[in-house]
């Protein structure tokens, strides 16, 4: 029986996601012994600095990728939104799993139960670690006090419950996967916040020269999700934006057609450059590149240049 080792971050959410992948692979391939190796990434170790100030070139993936390249593991499970659009030489994105709801969620402190962001008073303290969420929410709610929040989901929810924030903004997918969907107070519509590229999907990465593993993980690839996410990632790569650059997207797949919309937002939320594109699903990368071109034509490059001067270029 061949042993297959999956590399993963050791956060609760990462382990829930990885154990799901482990179970799916074990069920599909009973002749293999599917094992899990936990490790910490740079992003897990540095919790007292805003993500954008650390730099995001493999912030949550570099250690997992090194383990594959040195043969310690055979594949890695990532939240796809954390996986850079340009991978190290020798590694490939082998599968993209069916997507959970990719939207952003608001979790309110108990004193605001039943309220929405529109109903909170000016000066309310809103926690988020994402420049994408921050920029879009600043545009719509300039009177709020936005503050950075780091740590795993348990830590963030405790900070909220302790009264340090009036509300925090997280991913619907993570809350649902951990069984905390009842904490969601409001799901943000695309009109308020376009989600991160790849949000809600898992990316399975492995070595390009390992055909057995490539075939093994192929059962996890969900084609409609993969087409959407490939288009989103091509758009992000074309714009040279990384996981921490305020670029949001929304996509859907219908009748072999991809429908895409995206936003590039200035850090202060005063400039939101939007574009849309519809294209054949059989050419997702071309659709993403075309969308990026439309964003640039609408003035996104000037916004991006200013962002890159502030937070650096992504990956």
- What is the CATH number for 109? 3.40.190.10
Domain containing residue 152? 104-187
77 shares its domain with 206: yes
Reference 59, options 248, 310, 312; nearest CA is 312
272-308: per-residue pLDDT in tens?
999 999 999 999 999 999 999 999 999 999 999 988 8
179: left (phi over 0), alpha (psi -120 to 50) or beta: left
183 shares its domain with 216: no
Decide: 164 and 127 in contact? Cβ < 8 Å: yes
**Does residue 171 lie within any of the structural domains?**
yes
Which pLDDT belongs to residue 152?
84
253 shares its domain with 314: yes
213 shares its domain with 70: yes
212 shares its domain with 234: no
pLDDT band at 26 (very low <50, low <70, confident <90, very high): very high
82 is catalytic: yes
120 shares its domain with 170: yes
89 shares its domain with 140: no
**Does residue 230 lie within any of the structural domains?**
yes
What is the rounded CA–CA span in Å between residue 287 and residue 290?
Answer: 5
Which pLDDT belongs to residue 56?
54
Q: What is the CA radius of gyration of the chain?
A: 19
Q: What is the pTM of this model?
A: 0.91
207 shares its domain with 230: no
160 shares its domain with 252: no
**Does residue 195 lie within any of the structural domains?**
no
* Residue 257 predicted with pLDDT over 90: yes
Two structure tokens written together for 173: 């997918």
189-224: per-residue pLDDT in tens?
999 999 999 999 999 999 999 999 999 999 999 999
pLDDT band at 49 (very low <50, low <70, confident <90, very high): very low
Catalytic site residue from 10, 44, 82, 118: 82
**Does residue 193 lie within any of the structural domains?**
no
122-171: per-residue pLDDT in tens?
999 999 989 999 999 999 999 999 999 988 888 999 999 999 999 999 99
Give the count of domains, the chain.
3
270 shares its domain with 208: no
**Does residue 192 lie within any of the structural domains?**
no
235 shares its domain with 311: yes
Two structure tokens written together for 245: 């650059």
pLDDT band at 46 (very low <50, low <70, confident <90, very high): low
141 shares its domain with 177: yes
């Amino acid at each position: 029986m061949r042993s297959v080792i999956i590399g993963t971050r050791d956060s609760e959410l990462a382990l829930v996601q990885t154990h799901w992948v482990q179970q799916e692979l074990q069920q599909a391939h009973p002749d293999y012994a599917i094992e899990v190796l936990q490790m910490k990434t740079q992003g897990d170790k540095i919790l007292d600095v805003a993500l954008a100030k650390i730099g995001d070139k493999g912030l949550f993936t570099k250690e997992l990728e090194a383990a594959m390249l040195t043969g310690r593991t055979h594949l890695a499970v990532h939240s796809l939104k954390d996986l850079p659009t340009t991978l190290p030489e020798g590694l490939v994105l082998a599968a993209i799993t069916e997507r959970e709801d990719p939207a952003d969620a608001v979790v309110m402190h108990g004193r605001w139960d039943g309220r929405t962001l529109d109903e909170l008073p000016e000066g309310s303290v809103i926690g988020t670690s994402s420049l994408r969420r921050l920029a879009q929410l600043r545009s719509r709610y300039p009177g709020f006090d936005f503050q950075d929040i780091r740590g795993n989901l348990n830590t963030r929810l405790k900070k909220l419950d302790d009264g340090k924030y009036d509300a925090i903004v997280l991913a619907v997918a993570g809350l649902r996967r951990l069984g905390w969907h009842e904490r969601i107070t409001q799901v943000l519509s695309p009109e308020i916040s376009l989600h991160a590229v790849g949000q809600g999907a898992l990316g399975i990465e492995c070595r390009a020269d390992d055909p057995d593993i490539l075939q093994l993980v192929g059962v996890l690839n969900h084609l409609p999700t993969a087409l959407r996410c490939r288009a989103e990632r091509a758009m992000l790569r074309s714009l040279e934006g990384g996981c921490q650059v305020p670029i949001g997207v929304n996509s859907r797949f219908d009748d072999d057609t991809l429908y895409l919309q995206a936003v590039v937002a200035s850090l202060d939320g005063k400039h939101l450059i939007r574009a849309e594109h519809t294209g054949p699903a059989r050419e997702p990368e071309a659709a993403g590149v075309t969308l990026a071109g439309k964003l640039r034509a609408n003035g996104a490059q000037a916004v991006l240049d200013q962002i890159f001067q502030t937070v650096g270029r992504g990956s």
